[in-house]
Amino acid sequence: MTLRLLLLLLLATPASAALRFVAELDGLDAAERAFTRELTRAAQASLPPQLKAQLDVAVPLAWSAGLPAGVSGRATAGGRLQLDRRLLQQRDQALALRTLLHEVIHLYDRLGPPARLRWYCGARLQTQGAVGLPAGCRGQGERRFRLSDDPRLLDLAGWPQRVGSRGEREAANDQVLRSPDRYELDSPAEFVAVNAEYFLLDPDYACRRPALHAYFSRHFDGWSAPAASCEDKYPYLNAATGPDQPVVGWLDPQRIYAVHYLLAEPNDDWASRWGHSMLRLVVCAPGRPRGPDCLLDLDQHLVLSFRAFVEDVQLSHWDGLVGNYPSRLFMLPLAQVVDEYTKFELRALRSVPLQLSREQIAGVAQQAARLHWSYDGRYYFVGNNCAVETLKLLRAGTDSPTLIDLDSQSPIGLLQLLQARGMADARVLDDPQEALRLGYRFDSYAERYQQVFATLQARLGLPAEDVEQWLDLLPAERRPWIAAADLRASAGLLLLEQAAVRRELLAAQHSLKLRYLDGEAEAAMREAGDIVGQLLLERGFLSRPADLLPEGYGLPQAREWQMLEARSQQRGDALLQMEARLGAVLPALLSRAQQARLLGGQANLQQLHERIKALRSES
């Protein structure tokens, strides 16, 4: 080392720092030398003490005119840093600092942590210091594992474990929305470097990507750069739009009492024969202390549901198998989910409490909020379905060792595994009536309809063997029994008549869908088809809220909320107008028989309402 180089080294770096920048200043004028010295000083001040101490090397730094177009910096295999000379010419201190820190993190990722062993014990992947293989385990040998190899980092970053692959990771990162820099998606190494830039330089990073900020802070022995004060709630889009429901909702982790595994039981439909996995957030009403009474606040509870967003009007078995549907995380009111499954799909729901700590509950809420704004995956009925997505959310949100080697592709199978590991307490279902009363089970209306029918058949002698036969009768064939019913029987008939009308509406919608797909050319059908297409396209923003906020990254911050509410309300109003237009043209598209059954059912409902009113007046 020449005397000149040693002198530059001493001038460029504080004596207490282990990491040393050795800037090549030959050929630079006075202003360029000053810019370079200020850059290395700022980098030294920005880096965590732990990193500087562990990366105990002299790092040569040079300005280069030979880097490829679009490349601002490079860390060579020999540990030399090159920065694009155009940064020097432009005097862009901020960009130059980001670039230098980015490349230093690459060096740290390659040279930082000590060597570790990796092995499999059964299906469980483990890593630790080089202390030898446990008995009965097969090893992969010793090598230096990087920060970008850390399973926890990979879970948070968006490279989760692939189902059935013994710990191997997904090849692509699908957390593509509201990214600070799409370059982070190229590889885990680039993800670490890009996010370390923001961790070191952006005070908002703690609020926009809180789980990753906490991860980097723990890794660097609790150190972090000055951070902004974060809000205690996360915005989300309520996919259950209606005239009386705000489009934007707020998720407050402090109000979540518990997380339940919510299972929609299977039915005979090919897309639903495995059931459906969801998570239920038991959210307490404002002002209520967290506790068991929050189970009564059903109107506050939220459901996290990964679903295949279908942008056309048909659900293709083949498309589901090959992943042609986007997979997105919806946040829905519990009441809508209960109605959707129990009334319309006639499927029961089981709500099983998960054994999670307060920190894990907050972690699930935080991870759900991040995925809601960033995730745009592909839905496969086998391989990346609702069970797989729910497990990945739980694994990243809770950081529970119990979930590391858990593997299931079926909703019921996942629930059984969670029970076997002691994470799900299914004892709440042991007493069916108590489970219904406390909201651990929501029974299918098919069960209620059959029970009501059996009672009515015994009282009135209805001309059908079961509820299905009764609902299949023409409305005129069901009408004579209304006049013979007392108050209690009238209430039962009203429930069954509502089911009959709902059934007719679903059948009418299905036939219209088939006609639309067959390309029938009548003007009314074309108009309805255009509205259906627009409606599906317009509803897309509810599953991809990031489209409303093209600026910024991560979780939206308070200064973005006003814009979010304004844009979402505008889109929500447009959606309601389209639904009204569609409702206006659909009746004319029904066949005479369909119109007669719908009108007859509605007439029966009106007659039942009037009879119940009269019987109550008499009593």
> What pLDDT was estimated at residue 56?
84
Higher pLDDT: 341 or 589? It is 341
Q: What is the 3-state secondary structure (H, E, C) of 48-115?
A: CHHHHHHCCCEEEEEEECCCCCCCCEEECCCCCEEEEHHHHHHCCHHHHHHHHHHHHHHHHHHHCCCE
> What pLDDT was estimated at residue 540?
65
> What pLDDT was estimated at residue 313?
40
> What pLDDT was estimated at residue 272?
57
Nearest CA to 124 out of 142, 116, 107, 136 is that of: 136
- Residue 316 — pLDDT band, cuts 50, 70, 90? very low
Tokens of 473: 């009768």
Q: Judge contact between 86 and 64, C-beta under 8 A.
A: no
> What pLDDT was estimated at residue 536?
59
% of the chain exceeding 90 in pLDDT: 59
Q: Is the pLDDT of residue 613 over 80?
A: yes
pLDDT tens digit sequence for 147-199 = 999 999 999 999 998 887 777 899 999 999 999 999 999 999 999 999 999 99
Higher pLDDT: 425 or 124? It is 425
The span from the CA of 174 to the CA of 151, in Å, is 17
The stretch 492-498 carries a mean pLDDT of 92
Stretch (H or E) spanning 159:
none
Look up residue 525 and give its amino acid. Answer: M
- Residue 83 — pLDDT band, cuts 50, 70, 90? very high
> What pLDDT was estimated at residue 514?
64
Q: Is the pLDDT of residue 268 over 70?
A: no
Nearest CA to 546 out of 374, 428, 395 is that of: 374
Q: Is the pLDDT of residue 134 over 70?
A: no
Tokens of 92: 């862009």
Query: Which of 150-164, 269-283, 575-589 tops mean pLDDT?
Result: 150-164
> Out of 115-129, 139-153, 324-338, 432-446, which region has the weakest mean confidence (pLDDT)?
115-129
Q: Is the pLDDT of residue 124 over 70?
A: no
The stretch 60-88 carries a mean pLDDT of 91
Q: Which DSSP string do the residues of 126-147 spell out, in sequence order?
A: EEEESS-PPTT-EEEEEEEPPG
Where would I find the beta strands (DSSP E) of 443-538?
none
Q: Is the pLDDT of residue 2 over 80?
A: no
Distances (CA, A) of 122 to 126, 392, 423, 490, 493: 10, 20, 21, 61, 58
pTM above 0.95? no
Higher pLDDT: 604 or 5? It is 604
> What pLDDT was estimated at residue 389?
93
The span from the CA of 163 to the CA of 381, in Å, is 13
Cα dihedral: 375, 381, 384, 386 (round 10): 70
All domains of the chain, ordered by start, with CATH? 3-111 (3.30.2010), 234-443 (no CATH), 446-618 (no CATH)
DSSP code for 18? S
> What pLDDT was estimated at residue 122?
43
Q: Is the pLDDT of residue 511 over 50?
A: yes
Q: Which DSSP string do the residues of 208-258 spell out, in sequence order?
A: HSHHHHHHHHHHTTT-----PPPPS-EEEEBSS-BTTB-SEEEE-GGGEEE
Higher pLDDT: 555 or 381? It is 555
- Residue 516 — pLDDT band, cuts 50, 70, 90? low
% of the chain exceeding 70 in pLDDT: 81
Look up residue 382 and give its amino acid. Answer: V
10 Å Cβ neighbour count for 35? 19
- Residue 141 — pLDDT band, cuts 50, 70, 90? very low
- Residue 513 — pLDDT band, cuts 50, 70, 90? low
> Out of 201-215, 243-257, 259-273, 341-355, which region has the weakest mean confidence (pLDDT)?
259-273
Higher pLDDT: 118 or 200? It is 200
Higher pLDDT: 351 or 147? It is 351
Higher pLDDT: 517 or 326? It is 326
User: 61 pairs with which residues across the strands?
Assistant: 23, 81
> What pLDDT was estimated at residue 526?
57
Tokens of 492: 């039962």
Q: Judge contact between 375 and 175, C-beta under 8 A.
A: yes
Q: Is the pLDDT of residue 315 over 50?
A: no
Mean residue pLDDT of the chain comes to 84
The stretch 284-300 carries a mean pLDDT of 96
Q: Is the pLDDT of residue 245 over 90?
A: no
pLDDT tens digit sequence for 441-486 = 999 998 889 999 999 999 999 999 999 899 999 999 999 999 989 9
